[in-house]
């Protein structure tokens, strides 16, 4: 059972929460606005997120774990102090923060065969994080690790996840290749009862859930998809047995005589297409909407400069990055990347406009600065396509015609270049997508492309508020689905009234810093660890947010700008629920601290360090 609290597809906000409003069309450049609208309308589909399908039938095993064999062990029936559901960076960071405060009796439970979360599953060639490693990789100072490059590959990120687990002894009690099937609060014993698909039935005094917003691969519901007789796989379960090569970037020599098709040109496809173009006999890229590809400029980290960093440097870098994302001011830009570039442009333009015209700082000014900066940035991105791609017709269809933050911005120095490889064929569908699939290949634009293999780079079901494969049953039998029927309700995005000693770890209703997800997770981990340590010290049997604490926080979240959603007039995609109008529940799920991520981190730091934990009740018998 997949339990998606609130809505089928929740919306993510803009990657950079630079503005209090999403400008909808304000610009001097009406021709550009019109072009964006035409391109958006071409792609809008009434079936929205329903156009995708869950893997079933011939694809039923698509989400199986290719990285570990069968796991055989006896069921576990014991008591732990803290259960961490999810062994990605949320579980790892929370485990590490608990360890630091002396809470060592923790158990990670994860369906994967190891820690790492998305970095466990996504081993496609070229997988890399678009956020700079100095801020993306958590706990660098604690683990004494220097990232190899400004942006690091997935393998290095996975190894860092393992490093955290090892440094903080987080795997002794862990249950991997194990899905939680039920989570139920027992008020009499003040414990959570946890059952799994391996027959485990154990109890935990506290539970933290970091189940991630993008864990289930989805497929495009293309007619005939099941009829294809060749090989298929999803990027989240790359089939190296079929392709040859490995995660470290070795050539996929088994593709040398193969005709490979790939469906999708989102952030994942952008990263794996250069490797496929290099190694496949012939590659056919089926494009519905081009991604925006900005420069990456990756480089090695200088060990001498790294050695000079003072203790506490990572917190400083994190706050510097978060502050610049909100258009704030800092003495310098420590990360200096595409995320901070666009945010600084908007900020500086707004300030310049105020100086020039005496305009007041506010949503209208920011909206204008946003729109102008975005036009400038997107013109640069389109010009870059012309500079790199040799064939003018191919270059033309690789140009994105939408505001940069309508879709996930990409940064790459080999993607556009790969279209100069003669065996890489871009099949642009002018927004229509693949027509159908038959036994031997793909139909697009009325032409049949015969293929040996189809790679689905079609993304994931995206849920922001909270997703789990099980139901969570709190006090008096109340389920989380019921409590959140009209949208997520919480304090800090972490504490939910009626669900004692339970902590949710995600992005919503807290900082919502989407350009650096691990910052949110590690920070939540610090709060959870502090609360658990205090509860243990005080011998409290339960910790729960009061009804009033949750209500007041929701009032605060609701007072914030709804504009943090990528607006429906953007070209469709999962950022804007495929262009469908947001419901009130969607808005709630996408809400965050009104003053933005940096302000939230300041606020929560004060809240946590005060030791008062206002809004929470520590109960004893
Ligand atoms: P996406 O959902 O972003 O992309 C799916 C792709 O499939 C889109 O290009 C979509 O086109 C295309 N598609 C869907 N149906 C069809 C069809 N019928 N015909 C042709 N094309 C079709 O998934 P990704 O896996 O690329 O990325 C998911 C997210 O994962 C990213 O947005 C990002 O948040 C994260 N990620 C992060 C990375 C990082 O650096 N940290 C790296 C990679 C991914 P259309 O655009 O028209 O809908």
Residue pLDDT, tens place only, 417-427: 999 999 999 99
pLDDT at 6 over 70: no
pLDDT at 439 over 80: yes
Residue pLDDT, tens place only, 559-586: 987 644 467 788 888 777 788 888 888 8
Give the nearest ligand 1 atom to 270 CA: 26
- Helix pair 154-167, 89-100: axis angle to 10 deg: 30
Which residue's CA lies nearest to atom 34 of ligand 1?
408
What phi and psi values does residue 169 have, to the nearest 5 degrees?
50, 55
What is the topology classification, in CATH, of domain 79-215+463-563+593-619?
FAD/NAD(P)-binding domain (3.50.50)
Report the residue count for the chain: 621
Q: How far is the CA of 29 from the centre of ligand 1 (A)?
A: 28
Q: How far is the CA of 577 from the centre of ligand 1 (A)?
A: 13
CA distance 535 to 204: 14
What pLDDT band is residue 233 in, cutting at 50, 70 and 90? Answer: very high
Ligand 1: residues with CB < 6 A are 43, 128-130, 214, 220, 222, 263-269, 271, 286, 288-289, 408, 433-434, 457-460, 573-574
- 191 contacts 210 by C-beta, under 8 angstroms: no
Residue pLDDT, tens place only, 74-120: 999 999 999 999 999 999 999 999 999 999 999 999 999 999 999 99
- 450 contacts 432 by C-beta, under 8 angstroms: no
pLDDT at 604 over 60: yes
Residue pLDDT, tens place only, 520-547: 999 999 999 999 999 999 999 999 999 9
Q: How far is the CA of 371 from the centre of ligand 1 (A)?
A: 24
Q: How far is the CA of 269 from the centre of ligand 1 (A)?
A: 7
pLDDT at 8 over 60: no
Which residues face 495 on adjacent strands?
491
More confident residue, 70 or 125: 125
Which of 247-260 are b and which e, b meaning 16 or more Cβ less than 10 Å from the residue's Cβ? beeeebebbeebbb
Q: How far is the CA of 15 from the centre of ligand 1 (A)?
A: 15
More confident residue, 446 or 56: 446
Give the pTM: 0.92
What phi and psi values does residue 146 have, to the nearest 5 degrees?
-105, 120
Which of 408, 411, 449, 577 to probe ligand 1 with, by most ligand atoms within 8 A of CB? Answer: 408
Which residue's CA lies nearest to atom 17 of ligand 1?
433
The domain spans of the chain are 79-215+463-563+593-619
């Amino acid at each position: 059972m997949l339990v998606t609290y609130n809505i089928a597809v929740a919306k993510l906000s803009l990657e950079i929460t630079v503005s209090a409003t999403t400008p909808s069309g304000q610009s001097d450049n009406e021709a550009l606005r019109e072009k964006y609208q035409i391109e958006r309308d071409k792609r809008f589909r009434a079936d929205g997120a329903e156009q995708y399908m869950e893997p079933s039938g011939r694809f039923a095993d698509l989400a199986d774990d290719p990285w570990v064999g069968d796991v055989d062990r006896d069921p576990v029936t014991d008591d732990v102090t803290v259960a961490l559901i999810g062994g990605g960076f949320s579980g790892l960071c929370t485990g590490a923060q608990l360890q630091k405060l002396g809470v060592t009796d923790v158990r990670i439970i994860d369906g994967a065969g190891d820690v790492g979360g998305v970095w466990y599953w996504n081993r496609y060639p070229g997988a890399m994080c678009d956020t700079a490693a100095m801020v993306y990789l958590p706990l660098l100072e604690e683990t004494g690790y220097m990232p190899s490059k400004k942006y690091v590959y997935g393998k290095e990120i996975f190894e860092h996840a393992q490093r955290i687990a090892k440094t903080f002894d987080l795997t002794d009690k862990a249950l991997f290749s194990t899905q939680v099937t039920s989570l139920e609060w027992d008020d009499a014993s003040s414990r959570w009862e946890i059952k799994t698909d391996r027959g485990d039935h154990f109890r935990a005094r506290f539970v933290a859930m970091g189940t991630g917003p993008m864990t289930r691969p989805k497929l495009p519901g293309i007619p005939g998809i099941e009829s294809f007789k060749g090989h298929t796989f999803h990027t989240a379960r790359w089939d190296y047995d079929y392709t040859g090569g490995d995660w470290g970037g070795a050539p996929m020599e088994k593709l040398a005589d193969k005709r490979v098709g790939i469906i999708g040109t989102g952030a994942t496809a952008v990263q794996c297409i250069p490797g496929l173009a290099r190694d496949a006999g012939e590659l056919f890229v089926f494009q519905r909407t081009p991604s925006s590809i900005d420069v990456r400029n990756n480089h090695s980290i200088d060990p001498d400069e790294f050695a000079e960093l003072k203790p506490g440097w990572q917190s400083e870098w994190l706050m510097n990055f978060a502050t610049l994302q909100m258009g704030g001011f800092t003495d310098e830009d420590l990360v200096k990347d595409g995320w901070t570039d666009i945010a600084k442009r908007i900020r500086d333009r707004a300030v310049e406009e105020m100086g020039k015209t005496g305009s007041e700082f506010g949503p209208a000014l920011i909206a204008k600065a946003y729109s102008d900066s975005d036009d400038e940035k997107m013109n640069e991105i389109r010009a870059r396509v012309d500079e790199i791609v040799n064939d003018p017709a191919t270059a033309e269809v690789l140009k994105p015609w939408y505001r940069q933050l309508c879709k996930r911005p990409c940064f790459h120095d080999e993607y556009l270049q790969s279209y100069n490889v003669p065996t890489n064929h871009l099949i642009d569908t002018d927004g229509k997508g693949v027509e159908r699939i038959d036994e031997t290949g793909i139909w697009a634009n009325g032409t049949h492309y015969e293929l040996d293999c189809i790679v689905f780079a079609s993304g994931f079901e995206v849920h922001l508020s909270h997703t789990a494969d099980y139901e969570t049953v709190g006090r008096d039998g109340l389920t989380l689905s019921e409590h959140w029927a009209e949208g997520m309700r919480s304090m800090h995005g972490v504490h939910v009234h009626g669900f004692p000693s339970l902590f949710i770890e995600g992005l919503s209703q807290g900082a919502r810093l989407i350009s650096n997800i691990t910052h949110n997770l590690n920070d939540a981990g610090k709060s959870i660890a502090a609360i658990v340590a205090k509860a243990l010290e005080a011998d409290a049997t339960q910790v729960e947010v009061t009804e009033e604490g949750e209500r007041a926080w929701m009032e605060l979240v609701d007072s914030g700008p709804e504009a943090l959603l990528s607006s429906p007039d953007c070209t469709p995609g999962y950022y804007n629920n495929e262009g469908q109008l947001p419901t009130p529940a969607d808005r709630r799920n996408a809400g965050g601290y009104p003053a933005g991520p940096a302000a939230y981190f300041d606020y929560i730091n004060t809240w946590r360090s005060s030791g008062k934990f206002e809004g929470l009740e520590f109960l004893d018998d």
